[in-house]
Structure 1
Amino acid sequence: MNTGTNRLYFIVIINMKIRCHQQDCSEKAITISYTTRVKNTTCKLNIPNVNGLCISVKVNPEECGNKKQSPPLEISIPPPPVRLVKNMSFEYYHDRLKCTWDSDVDVPDLGLYYWYVTVFLTIVLYISLSFMKIGECVINDTFHNKEMFYLFNGTYKGQPVNNTFRQNSSTYFVKLEKPKLTIQRIGQSLCFHTNFTVSEFGAHCYEKNYIYSKCDEVNHILDSVYKVDYDSSCKYRARVQIILSSRCGAGKSDLSDEVEYGENRDSNLPALLAGIIIPLMLSCFLIVSLVLLRR
Structure 2
Amino acid sequence: MNTGTNRLYFIVIINMKIRCHQQDCSEKAITISYTTRVKNTTCKLNIPNVNGLCISVKVNPEECGNKKQSPPLEISIPPPPVRLVKNMSFEYSHDRLKCTWDSDVDVPDLGFYYWYKEMVKKCNVMKIGECVIHDTFLKDMTEMFYLFNGTYKGQPVNNTFRHNSSTYFVKLKKPQLTIQSIGQSLHFHTDFTDSEFGAHCYEKNYIYSKCDEVNHRIMSYSEYKVDYDSSCKYRARVQIIFSSDCGEGKSDLSDEVEYGENRDSNLPALLAGIIIPLMLSCFLIVSLVLLRRHKDIIFPKIPEPTLIFKDMFINNIRTAEDLRVNCAASHYSLVSQSENV
| Alignment TM class, shorter chain as reference | 0.7 to 0.9
Q: How far is the alpha carbon of 1:275 from its aligned partner?
A: 5.1
The 10-residue stretch of structure 1 (10-19 or 285-294) with the greater mean CA deviation from structure 2: 285-294
Alpha carbons 2:208, 2:214 under 8 Å: kept: yes
| CA distance in 1 between partners of 2:8 and 2:122 (Å) | 43
Distance in 1 (CA, whole Å) between partners of 2:3 and 2:50 is: 38
Q: CA deviation at 1:111?
A: 1.1
Deviations 1:32-79 (A, max 9, x none): 232323231211112222222222222323334444322211111112
- Cα distance change, pair 79–14 in 1 and its aligned pair in 2 (3 A): farther
Post-superposition offset of 1:156: 1.4
Q: CA deviation at 1:138?
A: 0.5
For residue 287 of structure 1, the aligned residue among 285, 288, 300 is 285
Flag the structure with higher strand content. 1
Tell me if the contact between 1:23 and 1:76 (Cα under 8 Å) persists in the aligned partners: no
Deviation of 1:202 after TM superposition, in Å, equals 2.2
Secondary structure of 2:245's counterpart equals coil
Instruction: Using the TM superposition, name which of 165-174 and 197-206 deviates more.
Output: 197-206
Measured against aligned partners, the alpha-carbon deviations of 1:200-220 in whole angstroms (never above 9, x if no partner) come to 112222111011110110001
Structure 2 segments unaligned to the other structure (5+ residues): 217-221, 294-341
Question: What residue is the counterpart of 2:4 in the other structure?
Answer: 4
Q: Indicate the structure (1 or 2) with the bigger Cα radius of gyration.
A: 2
Q: Cα distance, 1:245 vs. partner? A: 1.4
Measured in 1, the distance between the counterparts of 2:22 and 2:104 equals 22
Is the Cα–Cα contact under 8 Å of residues 20 and 28 in structure 2 kept in the other structure?
no
Instruction: Classify 1:3/1:163 alpha carbon distance in 2 versus 1 (closer, same or farther; 3 Å).
Output: farther
Between 197-206 and 58-67, report the one with greater CA deviation: 58-67
Distance 1:209 1:275 in 2: 44
Pick closer, same or farther for the CA change 1:13–1:53 going to 2, 3 Å. Answer: farther
Query: Does the 8 Å contact 1:244/1:251 carry over to 2?
Result: yes
- Give the direction of change, closer, same or farther, for the CA distance of 1:50–1:92 in structure 2 (3 Å limit): same
Q: Secondary structure at the match of 1:8?
A: coil
Match of 1:266 in 2: 264
Distance 1:149 1:258, change over 3 A: same
Q: 1:14 to 1:101 in 2, by over 3 A?
A: farther
| Structure-2 change in CA distance of 1:239 and 1:159 (3 Å) | same
Q: Which has the higher contact order (CA 8 A, sep 6+)?
A: 1
Matched residue count = 282
The Cα RMSD (Å) is 3.5
Offset of residue 290 of structure 1: 14
Output the TM-score relative to the length of structure 2.
0.71
CA distance in 1, matches of 2:63, 2:13: 22
By how many angstroms is 1:289 displaced? 13
Q: How many angstroms apart in 1 are the aligned matches of 2:161 and 2:186?
A: 49
What is the SS of the residue equivalent to 1:21?
A: coil
| Percent of aligned pairs with the same amino acid | 92
